[in-house]
């Protein structure tokens, strides 16, 4: 069983702003336990600021263009983001979004690899067994992952 763990984080100088505005939105860092750490840790806050999500197909995790149109300027392309449903939310529109940094620290290929890894974890949970070590079987299953787990 794998989890997607999200921790509230802030960069240097933002701590004071967060204290002044407790209602503000916090930047998020994705940590992927047992498999891959997608981003570098900046500065993690207390454990109480951490949320865990079971990697299951019901999470509807997806990689795509950022949902916020103001996040890109006219001379840059829209940044990629991961979105997923909030299982504790009140409605179907309650979701989280992690916007990937545009400074080159995370490539599109790394983001796609992370999404694929999440699909593998979801497959393992659904099938009740580990990812096959046999390359041929793994390739056959991998061809079906996008059709089974990609959210449009």
Write out pLDDT tens, residues 53-107: 999 988 999 999 988 777 665 567 788 999 998 888 777 778 888 889 888 899 9
- 34's CB contacts (< 8 A; 6+ apart) are 2, 3
The three-state secondary structure class of 138 is: helix
% residues pLDDT > 70 (the chain):
70
Average pLDDT, the chain: 76
Q: What is the mean pLDDT of residues 103-127?
A: 92
In tens, the pLDDT along 18-28 reads 555 544 444 44
pLDDT of res. 33? 41
């Amino acid at each position: 069983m794998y989890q997607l763990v999200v921790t509230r984080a802030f960069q240097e100088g933002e701590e004071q702003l967060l204290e002044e505005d407790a209602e503000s939105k916090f930047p998020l860092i994705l940590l992927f336990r047992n498999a891959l750490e997608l981003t570098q840790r900046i500065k993690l806050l207390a454990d109480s600021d951490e949320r865990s999500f079971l990697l299951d197909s019901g999470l509807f995790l997806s990689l795509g263009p950022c949902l916020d149109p103001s996040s890109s300027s006219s001379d840059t392309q829209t940044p990629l983001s991961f979105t997923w449903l909030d299982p504790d939310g009140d409605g179907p529109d309650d979701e989280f979004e992690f916007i990937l940094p545009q400074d080159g620290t995370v490539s599109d290929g790394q983001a796609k690899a992370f999404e694929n890894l999440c699909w593998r974890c979801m497959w393992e949970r659904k099938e009740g067994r580990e990812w096959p070590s046999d390359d041929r079987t793994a390739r056959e299953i991998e061809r079906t992952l996008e059709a089974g787990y990609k959210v449009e």
